[in-house]
Structure 1
Amino acid sequence: MIENIKGVSPYLIEGIQLTLLITIVGVLIGFVIGAFIGIGRLSKNKLIYSFSSIYVETIRGTPILVQIFFIYFGLSDLFGINFDKITASIIAIAINAGAYIAEIVRGGVQSIDKGQWEAGRSLGLTSSQTMRYIIWPQAFKRMIPPLGNQFIISLKDTSLFSAIAVNELLYQGKQFATTTFVYFEPYFMVGVFYLIITIPSMIVLRMVERRLDV
């Protein structure tokens, strides 16, 4: 058993590096998407509101695995747009996380008392300046816990990329198992590696929450 754990570890270390890369880059891009879409969901402009709402409901209403296949296979078949596996994976995480982050942003902004907007206007600030200097800093503080949870969710969602043969953590474990016909140790260690990332992430998240008193 120990020998099998030692044997699978190099595979999993390689896989976890790619898993983290896809997750971090994807969620960062997703945050940018989510910030704009979330604010769009609060817009009084019907076109902006409608576009933002359709995006959120479409992405949240379909499984991420379907989105992965659409980006990697569908776009190539229909439009001739070809992404390599890693790029397709990052795009899938970004688009998927962006929809959920949009709702986090919307909820965070709406949680700020309306009196804060009035305070901005009384200081002679425009709506965009009020958002930037008064509303957003307070709202972002409240967004931190759900954003941390979304990071962990997106991290675990990367396991689905094994369906398009991305060499992430789960795929590497499967490769070792298929090659050696040993199954317990690879999948056990895949779970351990996920916990090695998620548990410290949750601890840091709780520390940040207490520090910011959110």
Structure 2
Amino acid sequence: MDPQPPPAGNVEGDYPWWLVALAILAIGIAAVIVTNDLYAQVFQTVANGAAITIFVTLVAFVLATLFGLGIALLGLSDSIVLRQISRFYIEVIRGIPILVLLFYVAFVGAPAVVTAYNFITAPLVAAGWTEPLMVREVSLMWRAIIALTIGYASFIAEIFRAGIQAVDHGQIEAAKALGLSRYQRFRLVVFPQAIRVIFPPLSNDFVSMVKDSSLVSVLGVADITQMGKVYASGSFRFFETYSIVTYIYLILTIGLSLVLRQVEKRMRRTPGR
């Protein structure tokens, strides 16, 4: 019998030399920031947008996850109407670039919602009980969060659908035989098993949203990218500024990826209930 060739590509047993190289590079850049006044000033300015980036990412991802789960459950319902509504939403939204969706929500959706709100509250305005809402009063940051939520919910819905459908149907039938309600079957039988399939792609979407949150800078939201753009346009220090912007995003995304990878490994080691 011919000997089996060694597995190609990576494997979990490989020593993470790439991580060592990145750590050395990160320490080197940190040393430059500490010792060089220009880089220190750029870093301090750009880092002021980190809180906005983190806030936008966390809120949009939580909302997108909840919305995506709802869309996925509609797609798995017994009603053909609900299934078609779910599929319509997923196919349409997935076909729109996030940047275009961002502009549409910010400059078309928000004014439309404000117009509808003012129409509904017109009697209250006429009675002097309230004031009409102005489009400029709707925060650009929240317009961006809503756009990211709508866009990512379509992808997350497909992740949930695939994970739920991966659960053995026999176990669901057994849960029915035990008299568990639909909600109990989902909470006690389906979801605990589906989450093992769902978590890896869901965590990848989380990391992707950290990067896509930079798109909110086109609306003037003061995130990392916007702070870098403003500083670079005023100082003409483009190399230094965007090097620091890249550095901060790498710290966020790679750090988050490593944490999520450890969580995934722990989930794999934990025996199923």
Q: Same fold (TM over 0.5)?
A: yes
Q: What's the % identity of the aligned pairs?
A: 35
- Report which stretch shifted further, 102-111 or 91-100: 91-100
User: 1:83-135: per-residue Cα shift (whole Å, max 9, x none)?
Assistant: 31111111111111211110110011011111111110121112332112110
Partner residue, 1:8? 42
Q: CA deviation at 1:78?
A: 4.1
Distance of 2:263 and 2:176 partners within structure 1: 32
User: 1:129-164: per-residue Cα shift (whole Å, max 9, x none)?
Assistant: 211211011112321111111111111111111111
Mapping 1:1-214, distance limit 5 Å: 2-80=36-114, 82=135, 83-213=138-268
Distance of 2:254 and 2:114 partners within structure 1: 41
User: 1:175-201: per-residue Cα shift (whole Å, max 9, x none)?
Assistant: 110010110011011111011111111
Q: CA deviation at 1:77?
A: 4.4
Q: CA deviation at 1:79?
A: 4.8
Partner residue, 2:126? none
**Secondary structure of 2:225's partner?**
helix
More helix by share: 1
> How many residues are paired up?
214
**Secondary structure of 1:213's partner?**
helix
Q: Which runs of 5+ in 2 are unaligned?
A: 1-31, 116-134
Letter in 2 for 1:47: V
**Secondary structure of 2:218's partner?**
helix
Letter in 1 for 2:171: Q
What is the TM-score with the length of structure 2 in the denominator?
A: 0.75
Partner residue, 2:27? none
Q: Which runs of 5+ in 1 are unaligned?
A: none
Could you say which structure has the larger radius of gyration? 2
Letter in 2 for 1:129: Q
Letter in 1 for 2:64: G
**Secondary structure of 2:49's partner?**
helix
CA contact (8 A) 2:110 2:143 kept: no
What is the TM-score with the length of structure 1 in the denominator?
A: 0.95
Computed over aligned residues only, the root mean square deviation of the Cα atoms, in angstroms, reads 1.5
Letter in 2 for 1:51: I
Distance of 2:114 and 2:267 partners within structure 1: 48
**Secondary structure of 2:231's partner?**
helix
Distance of 1:11 and 1:48 partners within structure 2: 48
Letter in 1 for 2:39: I
**Secondary structure of 1:166's partner?**
coil
